[in-house]
Amino acid sequence: MAKREDKVNPEQPVNEEDPKNPFETFIYHQRKALEETGKALEALLPEGFREHGGEAGREFVKGFKALVDAAITEIEKATSQHADADSEGDEPPATTGKTKVKVQVD
């Protein structure tokens, strides 16, 4: 099997007039086709739709960011309280006792 000396990087632009091999030519044309398809789909949508759709996406991300930030804050509070309880010399809760149920797994 022939060893390939030049490596194809799909992120690197390929000049159509000077392709290094047929695969790079293929990649170039596929990338151009994808770009043109995106432009065609964008042309079908009215400007207002694109503008509000973009804003909706940004608001969606902001909502999840607020939710994740709140969860992180609550986790930090819980771990802080647990660390404070441990440092005060309190014993950890019992793992067995009258209110605990022992389960045997086969």
pLDDT tens per residue, range 12-22: 555 556 667 89
Whether 40 is covered by a domain: the verdict is: yes
Q: Is residue 78 part of a domain?
A: no
- Over range 24-34, report the average pLDDT: 94
Handedness of CA 40, 42, 47, 49 (dihedral sign): positive
- pLDDT reading at 26 higher than 60: yes
- Supply the range of the domain harboring residue 41: 22-70
* Residue 93 CB contacts under 8 Å (≥ 6 apart), including other chains: none
Please count the structural domains in the chain: 1
The predicted-structure confidence for 66-84, as pLDDT tens digits, reads as follows: 999 999 999 999 988 877 7
Could you tell me the two tokens for 60?
Answer: 């969606």
